[in-house]
Amino acid sequence: MITRKTTAEIMPKIFFNRDISWLAFNHRVLQEAADKRVPLYERMKFLAIFSSNLDEFYRIRVAEWKRLNLLTLKTKKVLAENPKMVLRKINHIVQKQQTEFNDIFWNQILAELETRKIRLVNEKQLSANQEQFVRNYFDEQVKPLIKPIVLNEKKGMPQLDEKSIYMSIKLCDFDRPGPRAFEFVITEIPSRKLTRFLELPEEDGYHHVMILGDVLRLCLQKQMFPQYEIVEAYSIKLTRDAELVLEDEFSGSLLKKIKKGLSARQKGVPTRLLYDNAMPQDSLKHLRKVFGVGPQDLMPGGRYHNFSDLMNFPKFDQKGILYEGLAALRIKELDDSPKLFDAISRRDFLLHFPYHSYDYVIRLLNEAAEDEKVRCIKITLYRAAPNSKIIQALLKAIENGKQVTAFLELKARFDEESNIHYAHELEEAGAKVLYSFPILKVHSKMVYIERIEEDKLRRYSYLSTGNFNENTAKLYGDSSLLTRDKYIGREVASVFDILADTRIKREFRHLLVAPDHMRHDLYSMIDREIKNALKGKPAYIFLKLNSLQDKDIIEKLYEASQEGVKIRLIIRSICCLIPGVKGLSENIRVISIVDRFLEHSRVLIFCNDNQPRVFLSSGDWMERNLSRRYEVGFPIYQKDLKEEIIEMMRIQWRDNTKARNINKIQNNTFKKSQALSKRNAQLDLYQYLKEKEENHS
């Protein structure tokens, strides 16, 4: 077994750096944008996702490495990796990916748009009619939103919105006597208030589209700065660091030492200045001084930034530019039941999104709100949809006299404001609202319903790998369990008791509950596989996770591999485990699937001497999920549903179109297969579930 001391000494050799691994994942997103089998506008969406992902990466992860790089040499020596070297490697990889991104957009996407008679034009490619249209649009819509800011080194960095793009403009005063004097100003390109892509009048049978930054370039001289000569105008984007969660990476005395070393460090400092690589060096130097960025913070780009806006590129009613929709699957037994409670009382059900309709979740809560036998509803909410139907059902339940308890996680990144709004709305209506804990996040996804049936208390539970969000349920691959199992119900109730009062302690025999129990239970199940392997019995572990980063549990998987346990992993994004290393992980294979739907479910299968134990879970195997979040893994007991999960995992493992091998060099090679036919896991899953329901009916 690998000891912690040995691990600390050789860690870079047995663990991938989590951020380098994440960049490999983002490259898989970029691969989808390059894949000509993917419909055109879906490819553009993948470019948008890549760009959005990278922005967040710089705000969160690069910011943390930059802060660690400010520590004293003595403290940095205790770190597993040198921050400066990691930053250097990150920049090298990102620049390489950015070059690939530019090639895909400029040389592939635009060329295919051209074949569809859609043309992206700049300010120098307009007809007289189009130019007048653009100038009118500028005067009416854009000009009122333009607020130039003078860039002065002495005044320091202005407060910029990091989600926005800016135009850096170099001016020369026509009337000023003497040598030419230059002035630098920046102005926000108001793409968050206006469309980023302006549709121009059609000409020659072509749809013409102009990016808002080019609208500014055309109109700045005559309509904004008529008294100046516009020497140059280039778009820039500044990324700042966000609030860091150092606990995700460090613990104990090292965490205290790092926090002490960074206590005086200001938040919101720049982590990246993305600039047009055509910008002259003197202008770039001026920007660097004003914004206080070093050479390592510079990221050369092209003429345009914020490609996350490609999500909104005009579609012009073109056919074949998006994936064909998959009709949401129905479950006849649930549809035929007057009440879902009647069906669930007979047996358990699994729902798999986005293949199944999410209406069943909304229906469950609406029925609970109106059912006179229901006495209480409890729910954990991490990310809810705008105008959430889930919230509406809870408000209806309160109105009908039900006891409603809702735990709102106020630290759900990017959803804080929305969750605060929903918390106030529920509280004012009369719900008991529980709020975030100072350090721990509540990431579990549960509904608990108490119903009185024939004078007996019955506990209904809905447990899921995904959020209570009807919008993302159409895009994220998640699995959920509907059950009236009394043992699971009691333990779900216990979790809610703990969330109401963390001083309460409970034992769990069925659920895997973090942070107090899940890690220990996972170790026990891995140990059981090791013991069985040593006895010559069947032993395997089959996992699907979003991320695998926790070093202790990775070491446990390495130990299992060394003792002969066969391990197959499907990891969507971060994978710090290195597979296929002789003497360490030669019994571990890892693939990653990136496709039209975001793979979001977590599935755990342990051989257990050919009596498989199957769990679904809200939590990944990351340090934060296992140690600082309330996560819940839930067992699948019903035989046919257990077989369903196992078969779905086999289908995913057989994928030979969207599956990439995670190997020692992280180069994202597509998985090869001996099968003659092409297998696409997501389409095959849909077909499997469809046929299963048809056969069952």
- HSE at residue 544, side-chain half, CA atoms within 13 A, is 25
Residue 279 identity (one-letter amino acid): M
Angle at 648 between CA 642 and CA 650, to 5 degrees: 105
Pairing of strands 270-276, 228-240: antiparallel
Catalytic residue among 305, 352, 356, 443: 443
Q: What is the dihedral of CA 531, 534, 538, 541, to 10 degrees?
A: 60
- DSSP 8-class letter at 508: -
- As a whole number of angstroms, the distance between CA 341 and CA 493 comes to 18
Which helix (H) or strand (E) element contains residue 167? strand 165-173
Task: Round to whole Å and give the CA distance between 306 and 14.
Answer: 36
Distance of alpha carbon 528 from alpha carbon 607, whole angstroms:
9
The DSSP H or E segment spanning 63 is helix 63-68
Q: From the centroid of its chain, how far is CA 394?
A: 27
Q: Using an 8 Å Cβ cutoff, are 61 and 86 in contact?
A: no
Identify whether the C-beta of residue 511 lies closer than 8 Å to the C-beta of residue 446: no
Structure tokens at 56: 């967040």
| Dist. CA 472–CA 480, nearest whole Å | 14
Nearest to 349 by CA among 333, 327, 369, 336: 333
List, in sequence order, every residue forming a beta bridge with 383; answer none if it has no partner. Answer: none
Specify the 3-state DSSP secondary structure of 412: coil
Q: β-strand 197-203 against 182-189: which pairing, if any?
A: unpaired
- Catalogue the long-range contacts made by 340-347 (C-beta closer than 8 Å, 24 or more residues apart): 340/364, 340/367, 340/482, 341/367, 341/371, 341/373, 341/451, 341/460, 344/460, 344/482, 344/483, 344/484, 345/453, 345/458, 345/484, 347/638
The rounded distance, in Å, linking the Cα atoms of 259 and 243 is 13
Token readout for 146 is 């333009």
Compute the distance between CA of residue 466 and CA of residue 483 in angstroms, rounded to an integer.
17
**Distances 401 to 339, 368, 388, 425 between C-alpha atoms, Å:** 20, 11, 20, 16
443 is catalytic: yes
* R_g of the chain, CA atoms, integer Å: 28
DSSP run (H or E) holding 545: strand 540-545
Residue closest to 378 by CA, chosen among 457, 452, 463 = 463
Nearest one of 426, 422, 419, 460 to 442, comparing CA atoms: 419
Tokens representing 427? 């509280």
Cα–Cα nearest to 447, from 413, 479, 405, 485:
405
Q: What is the 3-state secondary structure (H, E, C) of 99-159?
A: HHHHHHHHHHHHHHHHHCCEEEECCCCCCHHHHHHHHHHHHHHHHHHCCCEECCCCCCCCC
Residue with tokens 């490259």: 27
Q: How far apart are the first and last CA of the chain?
A: 51
Do β-strands 476-483 and 512-514 pair in parallel, antiparallel, or remain unpaired? unpaired
Report the greatest alpha carbon distance in the chain: 96
Please say whether the dihedral angle defined by the alpha carbons of residues 249, 250, 256 and 258, taken in this order, is positive or negative: negative
Q: Which helix (H) or strand (E) holds 429?
A: helix 416-429
Write out the catalytic residue numbers. Answer: 443
